[in-house]
Amino acid sequence: MEAKKLTRRDFLRTVALGAAGTALSACTPKVVKETVIVEKPVEKVVEKIVTATPVALKEIVLEVRATQPEYENAEKQIWSIFEQENPGVKIEMFSVNEDQVAAYEAKIAGGWTPAMDRVFEVNQDNYQNFVNLNGDDMDFEWFDRWEYDVRNAWSEKYGAPGVYTLDFYQGFVFTWQYHADLMEKAGLDPRNDVETWDDLKGFLDEGTKWAAAEDGVDNFWDEAFHGWVFGVNLMDTMPLAFADGQRDRQRQCFLGEIPFNGPDSPYRHTFEFFKEAHDEGWLPENWWVREWESDMEANYIAKKSVMMLHGPWTWDKMLAADPSAQQLGLPATPPAEGQTQWMQSMGRLAIYEGSCLWQGVQLKPEWDMIQKAFNWWHSPKVVKMRAEVEGRPIVYTTDEPVELEGAQWLGVTNDIGAQGGVFEDVKYETGQVGEDAVARYLKEGATGVWDWESGKLDEVFGDVMLEKITVQQALDWVQKNWEESYDIG
């Protein structure tokens, strides 16, 4: 059967349909079964079932986790091509929303194993739980398509052999994201008027005053706390506005060459910026205890706030709720005094997260088909389609050019560093992050520098906001975490 060709318009439509169901509500992993009412005598129905039984026994069902709930419907469309190319194979997709992670992990721990999963960190403590994609059990054919040494990147980071996850991105880009119509209504034009860190703060102050007087708008800049967003992304992003906050100095902190709690610590800037924003009223009250999705994202989607500091997926969520929404963005960190170059952080290489296979899946009778599906999902033609759905740059060579049309891409990131773009003078920071530089020295069971998975980082931010502790005391806590977490020697 000839594979159906999916157009870019089809993808955008299915992304919108999929995100609409997840933007304001949770997605529970489930299997949907059709109920068919047959208006025939009972004996005819029985005859039909008996006849169909041999076909049903031959069907191979593979349970596959979506990259993110927002993209599940679009990915179903892609997987439908695989189903057409492999009659008798059924791909049953499921999503795991943020509030379901603990229950899902318990299900995995109980022995349930999907055909293909997606994880957010495989490290030296847990890699034995996953199939080595470069090992004897697996025949993976596309390693040479990555634009870096994907066969050895994980082992170089963690000091153990193998490849356990695959993704094809450099990393997430967190930028300012806003409703263009509300911004125009406020009489503000950040893409033209914001060139420095002081400009940004003045802009936030003006916008906050406008929102306070505008009916139907609760906040100008909405913010909530998400451990992974802050601990893995924003802690490294915000210092880039400052000359002493660049990524090389961030690496020095993690390597023990300069202290996290020194007077010129790059991470002082992150705490100080959010403290200033809190004190000036630019942020919602008690923002650090607000929910990321149900409070902040929901308010933005309902247009009760003008802007957020966010990654790519909420741009698509907004379009799902309102396909006519006009969104634009601004690179996160215009330069402060003493920093001549406007830098935009790009997250670390996804060498520790992405598609994976749990140990034990090799024992399933459908193992050959699982390998075939895994290879297909990471093949050049499919990577091109997946990248165009998500709309962000990749570090993977496809056979045809990738035509990116994602909302964040069109609203801000395509202009960063691009000749003739609005932000052609802005430069991406793609260098190794500090946490990766010392990953192999992390002690087993250690919290890491930010201790975000336990919820401690949000408590520390809250204590700084409420002046229960100073920024210096917060940095002292960070330094103590580093000392207890790493054994560099």
pLDDT in tens, 408-427: 999 999 999 999 999 999 99
Q: Say if residue 227 is in the same domain as residue 331.
A: yes
Q: Say if residue 232 is in the same domain as residue 214.
A: yes
Give the pLDDT of residue 217. Answer: 97
User: Which residues in the chain land under pLDDT 50?
Assistant: 1-57
Give the pLDDT of residue 55. Answer: 37
Q: What is the dihedral of CA 322, 328, 331, 337, to 10 degrees?
A: -130
Give the pLDDT of residue 350. Answer: 82
Q: Say if residue 25 is in the same domain as residue 46.
A: yes
Instruction: Establish if 398 belongs to a structural domain.
Output: no
Structural domain for 96, as ranges: 8-33+42-169+352-390
Q: Say if residue 298 is in the same domain as residue 223.
A: yes
Q: Say if residue 416 is in the same domain as residue 290.
A: yes
Q: Say if residue 195 is in the same domain as residue 258.
A: yes
Instruction: Establish if 139 belongs to a structural domain.
Output: yes
Q: What is the dihedral of CA 117, 119, 124, 130, to 10 degrees?
A: 0
Q: Say if residue 122 is in the same domain as residue 157.
A: yes
Q: Say if residue 298 is in the same domain as residue 333.
A: yes
Contacting residues for 113 by C-beta, under 8 A, at least 6 apart: 358, 360, 361, 364
Instruction: Establish if 308 belongs to a structural domain.
Output: yes
Q: Are 441 and 486 in contact (CB under 8 A)?
A: yes
Q: Are 14 and 74 in contact (CB under 8 A)?
A: yes
Instruction: Establish if 463 belongs to a structural domain.
Output: yes
Q: How many CB atoms lie within 10 A of CB 340?
A: 7
Q: Say if residue 309 is in the same domain as residue 339.
A: yes
Q: Say if residue 240 is in the same domain as residue 310.
A: yes
For every residue of 403-446, DSSP letters joined together read: ----HHHHHTGGGBT-TTSTBTT-EEE-SPPHHHHTGGGBPTT-
CATH number for the domain that contains residue 221: 3.40.190.10
Q: How many structural domains comprise the chain?
A: 2
Q: Are 360 and 113 in contact (CB under 8 A)?
A: yes
Q: Are 304 and 295 in contact (CB under 8 A)?
A: no
Rounded to a whole number of angstroms, the distance between the first and last alpha carbons of the chain is 60
Q: Say if residue 139 is in the same domain as residue 258.
A: no
Give the pLDDT of residue 102. Answer: 84
